Structure 1
Amino acid sequence: MSNESTFHREVRDFWYPKYNKNGYPHVQQGVILNPERNQEFSPFILMAEDWYKRGVFSDHPHRGFQTVTYVVDGRLEHIDNAGGYSLLNAGDVQYMNAGWAARHAEEAYDDDLIHTLQLWLNLPKCLKRTETSYQNIYVEDAPVMNFEGGSIRVYSGDIAGVKGPMNSLVPITMAEITLREGTEYTHILPENHNSFLYMLAGEMEFGESKTKITKTGAAILSFNEEGSESNQSELKIKAKTRSKVLIYSGVPIREEIAFGGPFVMNTAEEIREAFRDLQRGVFGPPAVKE
């Protein structure tokens, strides 16, 4: 039974993204987390949902943030200019710390139509010049906790008695929850984590308010920003149909953000510096398949 002092989460806001049908090769795109609301979503900056063929996300640079890419369907070919290569399938996740100078390509493999969700996760100023790194979390390596009527797969953080394998510089939780119709489940998160969710399938009710959200719906949840990492909070969930949801959480980073194409820094001058460094070759050679 829950302690009376436990923070109970509710849906603060929810929405359904609009999708742009771009044609070939970037077939369709939607913005799940709008970067204009980045302070509200912190430490998360944006999330994009994309369907695309080969040639959309070829060689490009990044600086100052991290990405968490979840493969919904298809095969994602990743190439970086340090010689890294990997192929990810549905349910796999790639974590990248762009740090000071990432340069990579994220392509649909062969003739696949790839479907991905890419989350941009901010870095605090003290970590924006860290070394670039990549980590693949294959679906079979993300631990699963089964319970009556469903399961939870943990990609990052300590959840439901298991620890996810993601080694994020800014600690976050990331879980995929699958429920049968009628199943009730209570998701546990640190009370001081800002959190959002995205519905992959079905329809669920969230919180004591029983806010209904269906497939492609996204929501941001209430949290206790002045609370403690060690104190738990609860989110009540009930599946109205067979359903699947992704839930992410992290501690807000209360710093100014400056955007410039593929770069996320703290000031406009740092963005200009990033473009100068790109022109000077600081990011290294292009990321191409050998």
Structure 2
Amino acid sequence: MTTTVFASREIERIVNGMPTSDGAGVKLLRVLTQDLQQRLDPFLMLDYFHSDDPQDYLAGFPDHPHRGFETVTYMLNGRMRHRDNAGNEGLLTAGGVQWMTAGRGIVHSELPEQEAGLMQGFQLWVNLPGKHKLTTPGYRDIPAGDIPVLLTEQGVTVKVIAGQSGGVAGAVQKDDTEPLYLDLHLPAQAEFEQAMPAGFNGFVYAYEGIALLGGRAQAVRARQMGVLETRAERDGVRIKGGEAGAKLLLIAGKPLREPIAQWGPFVMNTREEVMQAVEDFRTGAF
């Protein structure tokens, strides 16, 4: 059972995302961009990749560095190999999640292990508080079978990647940002409620169908992000599947309320810390 929501958050704005490429030319949709970082603190970026054309993804993401935050890669379809300079290696397959803490610095690659077929998934960047930005890097592979799944009375499938839903604890629990990360599959007209602390920032991203949010039943269509309002009197969110149902992510977290200084793959609190990160990478200190 889900927790009863007495006053649902509404959609503050709809974001369509920006087509771009990253790595060695992988085509993707950048949904959470830098101008939304303060509004959606602690989340820094969300990319969605979806293509059955190998030329869009085969080159992958060769060796590149990170410092100061966490990356969460969720694969819906396809296979991606991770390797890093800490000696970690893992194969991310359909339904699985890779949760990597860059901390003080890591260099890794993410390369497809398929030559044809659909490659679909997400990468989310979650900020680290200043006190943990130089923590020891960490890496965890979570196969699909290790992610708890909840089936509600209305037939909604809830994949609990992080946080908690309906009394089910997710595969990942984190202090400081306390992220909630759910993958929701709603049949047509099915309803779902998720409690959420009033001070948390959150959003939904629909990747199939249409989801109707809040008391006003605002539509979030496929490939759109709906930013959820943050108001003290709102204790969660209500979601309803459209006429053809919906598949979407629901993501929320506790804001850090710290300065954000970013240069590419380095996210720190000050410009000086970013410059130090660049120098440390240049001299091989990662």
Runs ≥4 in structure 1, deviation > 4 angstroms?
Answer: 1-4, 22-25
- TM-score of the aligned structures, taking structure 1 as reference length: 0.88
State which of 131, 134, 150 in structure 2 corresponds to 1:129: 134
Residue in structure 1 matched with residue 235 of structure 2 by the alignment: 233
Question: How much has 1:31 moved relative to structure 2?
Answer: 1.0
Cα displacement (A) at 1:273? 0.5
- The alpha-carbon deviation at position 53 of structure 1 amounts to 2.7
- CA–CA distance in structure 2, aligned partners of residues 24 and 84 of structure 1: 20
User: In structure 2, do the counterparts of structure 1 residues 255 and 212 end up closer, same or farther at CA, with 3 Å as the change threshold?
Assistant: same
The alpha carbon displacement at 1:217 in A equals 0.9
**Deviation at 1:40?**
0.5
Unaligned ranges ≥5, structure 1: 284-290
**Would you say 1:166 and 2:165 are equivalent positions?**
no
Separation (CA, whole Å) in 2 of partners of 1:85 and 1:73: 19
Displacement of 1:173 in angstroms is 0.7
Alignment partner of 2:159: what SS? strand
Partner of 2:53: none
Q: Which residue identity does 1:215 align to in structure 2?
A: A
Quote the Cα distance in structure 2 between the aligned partners of 1:184 and 1:23. Answer: 36
Is residue 77 from structure 1 mapped to residue 78 from structure 2 by the alignment? no
* CA drift at 1:25: 6.1
Cα distance in 1 for residues equivalent to 2:179 and 2:241: 25
What percent identity do the matched residue pairs reach? Answer: 32
| Structure 2 CA distance for partners of 1:141 and 1:273, relative to 1, 3 Å | same
Tell me which amino acid in the other structure corresponds to 1:37: L
Q: CA deviation at 1:269?
A: 1.1
Secondary structure, aligned partner of 1:182: coil
C-alpha distance 167-85 of structure 1, shift in aligned 2 (>3 A):
farther
- In the alignment, the residues of structure 1 paired with residue 124 and residue 26 of structure 2 have an alpha-carbon distance, to the nearest angstrom, of 19
Please point out which of 243, 253, 258 is paired with 1:250. Answer: 253
Which residue of the other structure, out of 254, 261, 266, is the alignment partner of 2:264?
261
Cα distance, 1:57 vs structure 2: 0.9
Give the conservation status (yes or no) of the 8 Å contact 1:9–1:222: yes
Structure 2 length-normalised TM: 0.89
1:249 deviates by 0.7
Q: Using the TM superposition, give the Cα deviation of residue 33 of structure 1 relative to its aligned residue in structure 2, in angstroms.
A: 0.4
1:56, distance to aligned residue in structure 2 (A): 3.3
Structure 1 residue 146 and structure 2 residue 151: aligned? yes
Instruction: Report what 2:107 is aligned to.
Output: 103
Query: Is residue 17 from structure 1 mapped to residue 17 from structure 2 by the alignment?
Result: yes
* Length, aligned pairs only: 276
Q: CA shift at 1:27, angstroms?
A: 4.7
Moved more, 163-172 or 108-117: 108-117
Question: 1:163-211: per-residue Cα shift (whole Å, max 9, x none)?
Answer: 0111435320100111111112212222221111110211111000110
Query: Is the alpha carbon distance of 1:197 and 1:105 closer, same or farther for their aligned partners in structure 2, counting shifts above 3 Å?
Result: same
Match in the other structure for 1:195: 202
What is the RMSD of the two structures over their aligned residues, measured on CA atoms? 2.3
Paired residue type of 1:184: E
Between the aligned partners of 1:277 and 1:258, the Cα distance in structure 2 is: 16
Distance 1:150 1:266, change over 3 A: same
